[in-house]
């Protein structure tokens, strides 16, 4: 029987904490392989073997800042950077007909519009949080809103490490938007507040608090490692590669 070819993945920001976590997740997955990694032009790892940068054996592929070199041997691009990197590599993915995954947060409406346009030509996936658990609390919050939203106050708390640049987090804002949509469906006008804290080394805690007369319901997700986001992104990559051009999200992946 012919051996099934592995899906080739290129990581944007291969030397960063998230990039390295994704690389480790790829190594643990049997149906994907890491074949490219990029960094900005002045990064100290440019020209080094990706395996060595990751503290492992050489793999014969070098960290590059050259777009053509990066794209020559990949099926899917995974990017978790700031909006500038998202915009840059989305355009590169479109030009080279490569599926594109972004886990970037705090993206503007303009970049989301760019994703919609690019998705007419390639498969594009965006989720501000790649964790399966975090997406489950979003689903539970939407359901709870339909049942309690009329009589309960709704608040969201968002705790991340002190170095996180976007406040509130993309996940918190996404949950807020989804709850607001659920409130509209039950014809309730109510503000959903977000309280964001940036402290310590937390990789992410989100709580949705429904406060009523004499009772309170709390839906909470705690992340103890960024590996959950990396694992989710790699699973999505194996799934997205088979998809037709379109704009996909975690609801599509989980079939919620």
The pLDDT value given to residue 164: 87
Q: Is residue 2 predicted with pLDDT exceeding 60? A: no
The H-or-E segment that residue 57 falls in is none
60-118 pLDDT, tens digit each = 999 999 999 999 999 999 999 989 999 999 999 999 999 999 999 878 999 999 999 99
Question: What is d(CA 40, CA 16) in angstroms, rounded to the nearest whole number?
Answer: 11
Nearest to residue 53, comparing CAs of 16, 18, 105?
Answer: 16
For strands 205-212 and 153-160, give the pairing. Answer: antiparallel
Among the options 48, 94, 160, 173, which is catalytic?
A: 160
DSSP letter string, 147-185: HHTTTSEEEEEEEE-TT--SSS-HHHHHHHHHHHHHHHH
Q: Is residue 37 predicted with pLDDT exceeding 60? A: yes
Domain layout of the chain by residue ranges: 7-130+227-254, 132-222
Q: What is the dihedral of CA 221, 227, 229, 232, to 10 degrees?
A: -110
Q: What is the CATH number that goes with domain 132-222?
A: 3.30.360.10
42 token code pair = 């002045």
Q: What is the mean pLDDT of the chain?
A: 94
The pLDDT value given to residue 118: 98
Question: What is d(CA 8, CA 234) in angstroms, rounded to the nearest whole number?
Answer: 11
DSSP letter string, 209-250: EEEETTEEEEEEEE-S-THHHHHHHHHHHHHHTTSPSEEE-H
The answer to whether the beta carbons of residues 100 and 118 sit under 8 Å apart is yes
Mean pLDDT of 204-209: 96
Q: Is residue 129 predicted with pLDDT exceeding 90? A: no
Q: Catalytic: 160?
A: yes
Q: Which CATH number fits domain 7-130+227-254: 3.20.20.60, 3.40.50.720, 3.40.630.40, 3.90.1150.10?
A: 3.40.50.720
């Amino acid at each position: 029987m012919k051996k099934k070819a592995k899906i080739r993945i290129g990581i944007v920001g291969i030397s960063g904490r998230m990039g390295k976590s994704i690389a480790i997740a790829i190594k643990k997955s049997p149906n994907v392989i890491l074949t490219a990694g990029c960094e900005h032009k002045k990064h100290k790892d440019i020209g080094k073997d990706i395996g060595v940068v990751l503290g492992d054996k050489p793999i014969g592929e070098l960290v590059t800042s050259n777009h053509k070199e990066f794209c020559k041997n990949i099926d899917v691009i995974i990017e978790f950077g700031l909006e500038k990197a998202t915009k840059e590599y989305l355009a590169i993915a479109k030009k080279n007909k490569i599926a594109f995954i972004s886990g970037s947060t705090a993206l503007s409406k303009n970049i989301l519009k760019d994703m919609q346009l690019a998705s007419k030509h390639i498969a594009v996936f965006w989720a501000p949080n790649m964790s399966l658990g975090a997406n489950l609390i979003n689903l539970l919050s939407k359901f709870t809103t339909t049942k309690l939203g009329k009589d309960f106050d709704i608040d969201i708390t968002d705790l991340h490490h002190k170095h996180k640049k976007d406040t509130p987090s993309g996940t918190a804002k996404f949950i807020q938007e989804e709850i607001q949509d659920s409130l509209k469906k039950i014809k309730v006008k109510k503000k959903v507040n977000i309280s964001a804290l940036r402290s310590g080394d937390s990789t992410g805690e989100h709580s949705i608090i429904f406060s009523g007369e004499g009772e309170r319901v709390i839906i909470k997700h705690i992340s103890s490692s960024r590996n959950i986001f990396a694992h989710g992104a790699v699973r999505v990559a194996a799934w997205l590669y088979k998809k037709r051009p379109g704009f996909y999200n975690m609801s599509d992946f989980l079939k919620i």
